[in-house]
Amino acid sequence: MVWTLVLPQLNAVNPAVNAAVASLGAVYEALILHPGHDLDTLNAPASLQYRKALSALQNEISLQTHGPLPLFLACLVLAAVEVLQRKLTNALMHLRGAFRVLTEYICNPSRFAARSTHQDAIYLIAQAMDFGTTAYVLSRPPELPPSHMSPYNGNPTWTQTRFSPEQANSELIPLLHSCYHYTSLASPFKYVPRSSVPSHIALEQGRYIGLLSQWLARLGHCQWSFPIRSPSSSGSSFSQPLSPSLLVMRIQCLSALIYLSTILNPYEKGYDLYEMFFRQIVDGASKLLDRSPDSDSWMSPTNRFRLISPMAQPLYLTAMKCRHGRLRREAINLLSMTGREGPWDSVTHVQVAKRALEIEEHALQGSGMSLDEIFVPEKSRLHGCGLNSERLRCIDGGSIETIFSRCFDVDRMMLSSDIVWDAKENWDIWTEKVLLPPINAPAVLKFG
């Protein structure tokens, strides 16, 4: 509703929104439709439109001729402009501006006695972008507080067995947002002895695992006409027909459930327990990203830009943390089809995932094992991987600076609370420049 109805209307009457949309179109044309520009040297029309958008936003802040909503939308669109240029710090600045407008003017309980459907829809968009940013940079907590409209602040009182896609989305987004609030609090305790983990942290983990599992169980009762292919392994139970939007939500929920369930487990082999979930992510994504001639794929064509990322994060998590050889390679292949989703860039993240796979499976080369037999031992697994997306040139391929890390001895850190887990002597940390292929294909712009 916001993207298809409100934004076009405000684009026609509000100078700030109009200038922001024009800037997005100009930058999109320069960097995506006609690739080859250096990020630091946008062509003159794109640079001019961006300066006009910033000036119009400043005027709107002082005037607010149409209320706070145009400010919120203009900030979101300008965040997309910065993401297209891979200036993620600037994009976060615009997002924070949008969130401030949201909390102070649009969804402020002191200004409105009762929330409206309009406010709830806007807040859901903001929450989706907020936890999407957190899922990209796992070290930072969400900016927005847990939702005022979340049904998960207390015991859920679900009376209906089935729910519509709209209801499923309105319940899942606040839940995921709250989950990432929790993971930001729990992550510092990942590499400390279990006796040092506060009891409330462990209890909250179990509560959120239960809530995510309950949401998935409810989704299992829904019957919609979007069948997916039968899983290739008998270990998977993913055979429930779902609509495209519900299937995307299911994949996002599975990804959050895997991350949440392993947030206090220092051993990478802990991810092996969730191979069934990884398989369900790959099976669902393969249908959504199917590009065969007779496909009704919801996600094609390949090269599109989405402000909110539905598929890249779950597939990247699978590519990095699932050590089943065949599933991992399928996830990397599917990730290459997602295009640009918010800060996620399929070209960049596919190459990083391939390099991580090479590092972990290096010792297994020449072993003659099939992809289904590959097992990466704990000592060979990476514990961390970070990349600087802003230090990247998009012309003629280029490279991206990537930091890999591996713990020397997890068992030793688990023995004593006196060991400082993040001390440098406990980690093997190195930086590589991962090479990228040339980018020369056009893309399709989409917000949702």
What would the DSSP string read from start to end of 83-144? Answer: HHTT-HHHHHHHHHHHHHHIIIIIS-TTT-SS--HHHHHHHHHHHHHHHHHHHHSTTS--SS
Give residue 43's pLDDT. 65
pLDDT of residue 36: 59
Are 301 and 440 within one domain? Answer: yes
pLDDT (tens digit per residue) in 408-427: 999 988 888 788 888 999 99
Are 58 and 171 part of one and the same domain? no
CA 333/CA 327 separation, integer angstroms: 10
318 lies in some domain: yes
Is 335 strand, coil or helix?
helix
DSSP state of 36: -
Burial class (CB in 10 A: 0-12, 13-18, 19+), 251: buried
Look at residue 182 in the predicted model and tell me its pLDDT: 94
Q: In this structure, are residues 39 and 27 in contact, taking their beta carbons and an 8 Å threshold?
A: no
Q: Note whether 28 and 49 are within 8 A (CB).
A: no
Q: Are residues 69 and 134 in the same domain?
A: no
pLDDT number for residue 305: 82
Shared domain for 122 and 69, answered yes or no, is no
Task: Identify whether 191 is part of a domain.
Answer: yes
Residue type, 192: V
Contact by Cβ (8 Å): 5, 121: no
Question: Are residues 138 and 100 part of one domain?
Answer: no
- 153 lies in some domain: no
191 and 280 belong to one structural domain: yes
Q: Are 52 and 199 contained in the same domain? A: no
For residue 150, being part of any structural domain is answered with no
Instruction: Output the pLDDT for position 392.
Output: 60
Residues 6+ apart with CB under 8 A from 205: 182, 186, 260, 261, 263, 264
Which residues of the chain are under the pLDDT cut of 70? 1, 35-43, 107-117, 147-163, 221-241, 291-303, 366-367, 390-397, 439-448
**Residue 413, in any domain of the structure:** yes
Euclidean distance between CA atoms 155 and 412, whole angstroms? 39
Please report the pLDDT score of residue 111 as a whole number: 60
Question: Is 398 within 8 Å of 439 (Cβ atoms)?
Answer: no
Beta bridge partners, 384, equal 405
Average pLDDT of the chain?
82
Q: Are 271 and 322 in contact (CB under 8 A)?
A: yes
Cβ pair 384, 405 in contact under 8 A: yes
Task: Count CB-CB contacts under 10 A for residue 212.
Answer: 22
Share of residues in the chain with pLDDT > 70 (%): 79
Q: In whole angstroms, what is the distance from residue 421 CA to residue 399 CA?
A: 31
Rounded to an integer, what distance in angstroms lies between the CA atom of residue 249 and that of residue 256? 11
Identify whether 152 is part of a domain. no
pLDDT in tens, 321-360: 999 999 999 999 999 998 889 899 898 999 999 999 999 9
> Residue 426 sits in which domain range?
115-145+162-446
Reduced to 3 states, what is the DSSP secondary structure of residue 249? helix
Clarify whether residues 141 and 26 are in a common domain: no
Distance, in Å, from the CA atom of 201 to the CA atom of 195, rounded to the nearest integer, reads 12
Distance CA 61, CA 64 (A): 6
Q: How many domains are contained in the chain? A: 2
Residues 168 and 120 grouped into a single domain: yes
> Does residue 166 sit in the same domain as residue 109?
no
DSSP 404: E
Same domain, 47 and 168: no
Are 29 and 46 found together in one domain? yes
DSSP 189: G
Residue with tokens 């049904």: 151
Q: Is residue 156 part of a domain?
A: no
Q: What H or E segment, with its residue span, contains residue 77?
A: helix 69-84
Residue 157 lies in a domain: no
